[in-house]
Amino acid sequence: MHYSTAAMDEEALFFPSSDTDLDLSFTSIASTDRTTTTTTTSARTSLARSSLTLSFNDRLSTTAETYNTTTSSSSSSLLRSHRRSSDDPHWSAIKAATTLSSDGALHLRHLKLLRHLGTGNLGRVFLCRLRDYDNHANANFALKVVDKESLSAKKLSHVKTEAEILSTLDHPFLLTLYAHIEVSHYTCLLIDYCPGGDLHALLHRQPGNRLPLKAVKFFASEVLVALEYLHSLGIVYRDLKPENILLREDGHIMLSDFDLCFKADVVPILVQYTTSTPTRSRAGSLSCFGEDEEEVVTTDIVAEPTAAFSRSCVGTHEYLAPELVAGNGHGNGVDWWAFGVLIYELAYGTTPFKGGSKESTLRNIASTRDVRFPENDEEEGEEMSLLRDLVEKLLVKDPRRRLGCARGATDVKRHPFFRGIKWALIRNYKAPEVRGLPRKTTMTKGHVTTHVSSHRRRRLSRWLVSWKGSVLLGCYKKKKPCRFVHV
């Protein structure tokens, strides 16, 4: 999301006056020159890349009117499973507020705006807390406010899509929707606040705008897990880029901005993988014959929307897949292409097909030219070679041969670049030491911690098993077949 600052007034329209509150309003204010409003709040202001379908030239309404402020709150997602513990400050604060509310719902009057975080293509974002619940010291929220009267029909459909997608998500690396409030012509989404900024801003704090290889693997692994979850729900993301990867206070990620997603059916399958490992004697040494191998069969669940199809041209130009640029229709493969571009940018500080202009970039993507890597790279070695091999497999122009398109994250996880990653415990990994990256070391609300007990690890493993079981159960309830494949 691209942010710019803007003046706001008439805060009393929705909130009681308070000496400690900011004088902010949801009222849209037109800007005659949008280039002059990009001055303060975010590193995205001058550097971020915008999505193709979203225009910055749409004028907002210049009229401030008074509306009836009847509200409705949708908190049906209360107590999500991965953060159900009673010590979660966010859900504890919301539960306290809704318990005392006359109708048991959360309203705008319950929220206290702290400051304006920025303005995006669809709305404004505020840092806020619940009024009278300052004892919940860590319960900061982000409130995304959309003025529906100022948006085109297409953008309104994007707002609806984002709200619907957020309401279905329950994952530590994806934003949580705490409440969906409709008041007058405003749509308000109460979501997670990530104080670490975004990955795009972090990149631009590094020498050469590139991360150390260890940090690349860390962020790529978490994005991969998030994409796996989205695809298991039949959701094709279509807007993966560093600007949409937010950083929590513990240095771990949260994907944001789901307005360009689309949904498709997904049929889970069981996949068996057979691998060969050298046999060992009881003493632990290799067999004296040298060539004896033991076959190990592992089974995994694959839930990938391989039948997904759309003709919409959406996304950010440097991250668009060739089939999307061609306009002949695309599916789940666009996310795996964007994943390859992301890894490349994290490792090399630029995108692989970037040209002198948007047009030249799109021509490079649509051409038959394969991905190229910088020569005389300082960081060589086996790990970098594995990264290049992974990127080459993800950036295959033909989506039918692209890694991930057939069996999704299951195949991508098996690439040697991710060797050693314990996927069931990834939430517990310590964030890497990177300039400007927050690394909180205390346990908070079921999120990542640097010191985790064995009991906590067992709970996380059960969560992963529960998620995989829910995929099969959902398939059963919809009376869809679950195919079994041997690889």
Phi, psi of 199 (to 5 degrees): -70, -30
| Edge-to-edge strands, sheet with 141-147 | 71-74, 177-183, 186-192, 141-147, 124-130, 111-119
Residues 272, 485: contact at Cβ < 8 Å? yes
Is residue 179 classed as helix, strand or coil in its secondary structure?
Answer: strand
Give the pairing type, strands 293-302 and 71-74. unpaired
Tell me how far apart the alpha carbons of residues 202 and 196 are, in angstroms, rounded to a whole number: 9
DSSP 8-state code for residue 113: E
Task: Provide the annotated active-site residues.
Answer: 239
Give the orientation angle of helix 333-348 with respect to helix 382-394, to 10 degrees. Answer: 150
Tell me how far apart the alpha carbons of residues 334 and 346 are, in angstroms, rounded to a whole number: 18
Under 8 Å CB-to-CB from 310, ≥6 apart: which residues?
236, 262, 329, 330, 331
Is residue 330 classed as helix, strand or coil in its secondary structure?
Answer: strand
Tell me how far apart the alpha carbons of residues 41 and 444 are, in angstroms, rounded to a whole number: 26
Residue identified by tokens 């949260």 is 254
Phi, psi of 189 (to 5 degrees): -115, 120
Tell me how far apart the alpha carbons of residues 163 and 324 are, in angstroms, rounded to a whole number: 25
Nearest to 380 by CA among 347, 354, 407, 413: 347
Give the pairing type, strands 245-247 and 269-278. unpaired
Dihedral angle at the C-alpha atoms of 47, 248, 164, 408, nearest 10 degrees? 90
Tell me how far apart the alpha carbons of residues 238 and 338 are, in angstroms, rounded to a whole number: 8
Give the pairing type, strands 483-486 and 269-278. parallel
Nearest to 373 by CA among 359, 391, 399, 396: 391
Quote the tokens at residue 344.
């490349």
Q: How many CB atoms lie within 10 A of CB 407?
A: 20
Quote the tokens at residue 238.
């279509």
